[in-house]
């Protein structure tokens, strides 16, 4: 069975500072990894994905994530946080060839002015 862990319920960072939102996973076979963002009163929006290739993937709004196979991690990063980045972030994983993703519990990112 696949699983996703987001070890931090909340991450606080000052505007302009780099941010990291952590995600580790467990899955059989090659993983498809995703990050989504949810703004208040909105549905989830796709940010980026890793399927194969370069371990560093770039996505929307200046976010990037690094796939680390040995540590089974897929941390979300941004070099300089904005107040408008404050939202709920979800990591998700599914095995290649499967239609069934598993989501983490979400991490609330708060960027302080």
Partner 1 sequence: EAQVTQNPRYLITVTGKKLTVTCSQNMNHEYMSWYRQDPGLGLRQIYYSMNVEVTDKGDVPEGYKVSRKEKRNFPLILESPSPNQTSLYFCASSLGGEQYFGPGTRLTVT
Total number of residues that touch partner 1 (CB under 8 A): 19
Q: Which of 21, 87, 90, 109 binds partner 1 (CB under 8 A)?
A: 90
Neighbours of 92 (CB within 10 A): 21
Nearest to partner 1 of 22, 103 (CB atom): 103
Cβ 13 to partner 1 shortest distance, Å: 21
Nearer to partner 1, 41 or 70 (CB): 41
Q: Which of 27, 76, 78, 104 binds partner 1 (CB under 8 A)?
A: 104
Chain residues that interact with partner 1, rule: CB under 8 A: 32, 34, 36, 41-46, 49, 51, 90, 99-101, 103-106
């Amino acid at each position: 069975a696949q699983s996703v862990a987001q070890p931090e319920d909340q991450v606080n960072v000052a505007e302009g500072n780099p941010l990291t939102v952590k995600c580790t996973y467990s899955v059989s076979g090659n993983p498809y990894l995703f990050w989504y963002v949810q703004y208040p009163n909105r549905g989830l929006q796709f940010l980026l994905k890793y399927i194969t290739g370069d371990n560093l993937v770039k996505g929307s709004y200046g976010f990037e994530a690094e796939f680390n196979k040995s540590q089974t991690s897929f941390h979300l990063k941004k070099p300089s946080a904005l107040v408008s980045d404050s939202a709920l972030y979800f990591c998700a994983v599914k095995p290649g060839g499967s239609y069934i993703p598993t989501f983490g519990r979400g991490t609330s990112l708060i960027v302080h002015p």
